[in-house]
Every structure is written in structure tokens, then in C-alpha cells.
């Protein structure tokens, strides 16, 4: 997407690259950068539903807090893109 911190960490796939780049505006890019260390899986949008698949065998409070930050990010995407 042209933002080094994000491009190094994430692999984005979209059927419509132009639309995707427009969707991932500055505010969403900042939110994404703020949760980079909390992500431990993949975020997918399929049939207008978000899916977060994470790699973890156990949960402690830290893992729940990380999951909470990721879910909040997904809610921001849904609100800003009107999904």
C-alpha cells in the first residue's frame, strides 16, 4: 500500500486493489500500525463478514487484551468502510 511499516509486516490480497487502497485510508493505516505487535493471525473479509484467525494454544490476560485491540480495529474498518 506504500507505507513501509505496514508493507513489511502484512500481505494484502484483494480482487480490487484500487478500491482496497482507497479503503485503507490514513486513519485506518494509523490504527493498523498501532496494533501490529498485537496481531498473531490473519484478518479476512469474506461475504461482508470479518474473520480473524489467530495462532494461539492458550490464553492469558495479555492474549485477551491483544485480541480486544484487534477486534476494535476490525470494528473501525467496518464503521469507516460501511461494511
pLDDT confidence bin for 76, thresholds 50/70/90: confident
> How does pLDDT run across 4-23, given as a tens digit for each residue?
878 877 777 777 778 777 87
Q: Is the pLDDT of residue 70 over 80?
A: yes
Place of cell 480482487: 15
On average, the pLDDT of the chain sits at 80
Query: Which residues, including other chains, have CB under 8 Å from residue 53's CB and lie 6 or more apart?
Result: 41, 42, 44
Question: Do residues 71 and 38 make contact, with C-beta atoms less than 8 angstroms apart?
Answer: no
Please give the model's pTM, rounded to 2 decimal places. Answer: 0.69
Q: Is the pLDDT of residue 61 over 80?
A: yes
The pLDDT value recorded for residue 4 is 83
Amino acid at each position: 500500500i506504500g507505507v513501509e511499516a505496514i508493507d513489511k509486516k502484512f500481505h494484502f490480497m484483494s480482487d480490487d486493489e484500487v478500491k482496497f487502497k482507497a479503503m485503507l485510508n490514513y486513519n485506518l493505516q494509523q490504527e493498523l500500525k498501532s496494533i501490529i505487535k498485537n496481531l498473531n493471525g490473519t484478518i479476512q473479509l469474506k461475504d461482508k463478514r470479518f474473520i480473524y484467525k489467530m495462532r494461539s494454544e492458550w490464553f492469558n490476560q495479555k492474549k485477551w487484551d491483544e485480541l480486544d485491540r484487534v477486534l476494535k480495529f476490525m470494528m473501525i474498518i467496518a464503521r469507516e468502510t460501511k461494511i
